[in-house]
Structure 1
Amino acid sequence: MSITSSDQSFDTQRFIHYCENMYQKNKAFDDKQTDRLARHRHLEPESAKFLASLVIAKQAFRVLEIGTSTGFSTLWLAYALNNLAQSDSQTNLQPQLISLDIDSERSQIAWQHLQAVGLSHQVDLQVIDAESFLKQNQQTFELIFLDAERKFYHHYIEYLHHALSVSHILVVDNVISHADEVADFITTFKQDPRYLCNTLNIGAGLFMAVRQS
């Protein structure tokens, strides 16, 4: 399933205010949930802003997000791509963000948030299992953001290698808060000479692997 649109209006200050309210409401919701899977589990604001900064600094026109949830990080990635689209008049490249989630209800909520701030035209939300998408994917992405069910990450490794070319970046969330759950996955990249890796003390911990060869 793919959802697309063509919104044109955008207001930066309104966007920032919207994101602040969205995060606080979803955090309050998550704090009341006893079932981890019922939580929206949004990226921390400082991590979301770092991702957006990385997209803009790198001029990453092709971005893949694995784990949409209800779209907080998606909003910030779309914001960054919208920034690139508005500021770059030297290229005919069209910014592209593909965001994947298996949960159609959460993807629909994310879509509503994107429409509310005028950024839905930047995003292709796909309701699909991440491994299924990666298995058939033929594209490379300048930035891949991974924030999904950690127990499945080891299934993605070889597909991620194929989706990243030289200078492309993989960013993984929750690598400090849930270090034991991602340790083997992270070690695989750290031991691979094709990558230059760092763990950043931002939010719940971000792991960044830059493909260097």
Structure 2
Amino acid sequence: MNKELAVFLKELENFGVANDQQMKDKSKRMRNVTPETGRFLSFIATTTQARNILEIGTSNGYSTLWLAESVSENDGHVTTLEFLASKAELAKSNFEKAKMSKWIDLIVMNASEYIHKVESNTVDMIFLDSDRKEYVEWWGDLSRILKKNGLIVVDNVISHSNELQDFYILVSNDENYKTIKLPIESGLLLLTKK
């Protein structure tokens, strides 16, 4: 990672923590992944040579930049979905400041609408960090768009295990996937398509 991006990510990290400590309205919190989770996302995307990544839940773009850093090395692309226009504007500004916009496509849209239109077997990696109660409904399309040997990473699988219980049961019983939970920060669930 270049030094300029590393410094900017640290600034975003500090902003997210300060913002979330003072903000009572949950919709205005950034709720960024931790730096350790960001590094893991970049590492796993690089290791799997993911070129077409879909992120659901942009917020201010912190995790997106970690993913974009990995695809910038292999001429790949990150498509990130954000439902709130205010957060999307903040993310867009951050992508420009980080000089990473050319590897990122930011879409302000309901995720279920977007993923329903994506071609089958076209996505290498999906990062889910959004409205957890929607994941079960999205599963059919998420599974359809993911390539064979593709990877899905789900955040908050330990910290919000109650909210993700139905989703975890669903994917754990899907014979087309191998799953593993990792105790990294809030907990990550990794699924790979056989």
Question: Deviation of residue 153 (structure 1)?
Answer: 1.4
For residues 7 and 184 of structure 2, the distance between their equivalents in structure 1, rounded to whole angstroms, comes to 21
Deviation at 1:66, TM superposition (A): 0.4
Q: Which of 168, 182, 186 is matched with 1:186 structurally? A: 168
Which sections of structure 2, spanning at least 5 residues, go unmatched? none
User: What secondary structure, in the 3-state scheme, does the structure 2 residue paired with 1:165 have?
Assistant: strand
Alignment partner of 1:104 is 2:94: no
Match runs of 1:115-130 below 5 Å: 115-130=96-111
Match of 1:131 in 2: 112
SS of 1:166's equivalent in the other structure is strand
Query: In the alignment, which residue of structure 2 is the partner of 1:50?
Result: 40
Structure 1 residue aligned with 2:189: 207
- Aligned to 2:74, what secondary structure does the other structure show? helix
Note if contact 2:136-2:170 (Cα within 8 Å) is conserved in structure 1. no
Q: Does 1 or 2 have the higher relative contact order (CA < 8 Å, sep 6+)?
A: 1
Equivalent in 126, 146, 156 of residue 128 of structure 2: 146
Q: CA deviation at 1:38?
A: 2.1
Residues 79-108 of structure 1, C-alpha deviations (whole Å, 9 max, x = no match): 1111223xxxxxxxxx12110011112111
Q: Which has the higher strand share?
A: 2
Q: How far apart are 1:154 and its partner, in Å?
A: 1.5
- Distance (whole Å) between structure 2 residues aligned to residue 174 and residue 112 of structure 1: 26
Q: Which runs of 5+ in 1 are unaligned?
A: 1-10, 86-94
Structure 2 SS opposite 1:49: helix
Rounded to whole Å, the distance in 2 between the matches of 1:18 and 1:110 is 13
State percent identity of aligned pairs.
30
Is contact 2:157–2:187 with CA below 8 Å preserved after alignment? yes
Structure 1 residue matching 2:149: 3-state secondary structure = coil
Residue 89 (structure 1) aligns with: none
